């Protein structure tokens, strides 16, 4: 059946709390969420969820999310977490 949107939101909140406990940056959190949950959410849903969780410029965040979803290479399995983080840091 797959994962529901509500459950996915719960997972994102849980992961954000865990990651905050590890003192990761907003950029690291955004990179993690994009890399691990993009296929479960539309760009609009991803933006809304990330905008609630991170303290970054919303215009830049929206551009980042939209660009991520438009760029198939970003979502390629060969792209590492470090690659994604570097890319995110170009935006925020």
> Which pTM does this prediction carry?
0.72
Backbone angles phi, psi at 22, to 5 degrees: -90, 5
Q: How far apart are CA 90 and CA 92, in angstroms?
A: 6
25 torsion bin: left (phi>0), alpha (psi -120 to 50), beta (else): beta
Is 67 buried (19+), middle (13-18) or exposed (0-12) by CB count in 10 A?
A: middle
Whether 75 contacts 68, CB under 8 Å: yes
How confident is the model over 7-61, as pLDDT tens digits? 888 887 787 777 666 778 899 889 988 888 888 889 999 999 999 989 999 999 9
Q: How far apart are CA 90 and CA 72, in angstroms?
A: 18
């Amino acid at each position: 059946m797959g994962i529901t949107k509500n459950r996915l939101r719960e997972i994102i909140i849980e992961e954000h709390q865990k990651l905050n406990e590890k003192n990761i940056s907003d950029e690291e959190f955004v990179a993690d969420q994009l890399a691990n949950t993009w296929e479960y959410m539309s760009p609009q849903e991803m933006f809304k969820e990330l905008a609630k969780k991170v303290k970054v410029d919303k215009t830049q965040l929206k551009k980042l999310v939209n660009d991520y979803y438009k760029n198939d290479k970003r979502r390629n399995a060969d792209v590492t977490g470090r690659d994604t983080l570097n890319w995110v840091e170009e935006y925020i």
